[in-house]
Amino acid sequence: MKKLLLTFVMVLGIVVNGWATTYTGSLTDSSGLFATNGNFGNAGIHGWNPSAVLSYTVDDTTNTGFWTYAYTYTVDEKGISHVIIEVSDDNPATPENEAFTTANLKAGSTAGGIINPYSPSDPGNSNPFMPEQVYGIKWDTEGILSFFWTIVTDRMPMWGDFYAVDGKKPGNEIYAYNTGFGLDTSALIGNGNAMDTQGHAWLLVPDSKIDDDGGRGRQVPEPGTLLLLGSGLIGLALYGGRKFNKKI
């Protein structure tokens, strides 16, 4: 009986650890990121294509009870003016979906983010060639070549959009966005980027759904977790069967 209990505890520990979730992905010129260059006369052609990289990690373990979205956008030249990450807006058709607000930004989030609708027609042409309006969080980055920022929130992940632009305005603006910007996808949440057969791609961003169960409330266990659970239960059954047979 003691061995059976010990085995059960071991299996339970494996399963609980299996529910910890981490997703990683990256967008590049060859994998879902549209980035531009500009002609700077005697200085030649310069910009973000093909060097720009957006990488990210999303997990429910870094900050207990919350999801942590960690992004890094890096370019070789033409410093970054600002970045925008989509977050979920209010959906009038579904009353339970509430817009992402500052109340959803928890301790550990990068300071200075401003939540608003952003569009290519914003004053000052600050988002040139953005494909369409997006509800998101904007960080000004002061012309640096690599920017790391974090969103700690109770919002679960969904597929969404990213936009960045350099500091040169007007003329010869250098900008970048995911190739699926403004479009929808039904891809399941997982590692890597969502990408369709036409080359449209998306990254993981905070959704409208609030996770009220320690970062794992509505997550479906991954196949590996179910396999661990099933294997453990089968092992317990076989062990118990052998014990029972010995008593007959």
Q: Looking at the DSSP assignment, which residues form a beta bridge with residue 165?
A: 82, 175
Report pLDDT for 10. 45
Instruction: With 0.85 as the threshold, say if the pTM is over it.
Output: no
Counting residues of the chain whose pLDDT is more than 70, the rounded percentage is 76
Is the model's pLDDT at 113 over the cut of 90? yes
Mean pLDDT value across residues 138-148: 96
Q: Which residue has the higher pLDDT, 198 or 3?
A: 198
Report pLDDT for 98. 80
Mean pLDDT value across residues 109-126: 94
Average pLDDT, the chain: 83
Report pLDDT for 228. 47
Mean pLDDT value across residues 108-133: 95
pLDDT tens profile 7-58? 443 444 444 445 789 999 999 999 999 999 988 877 888 899 999 999 999 9
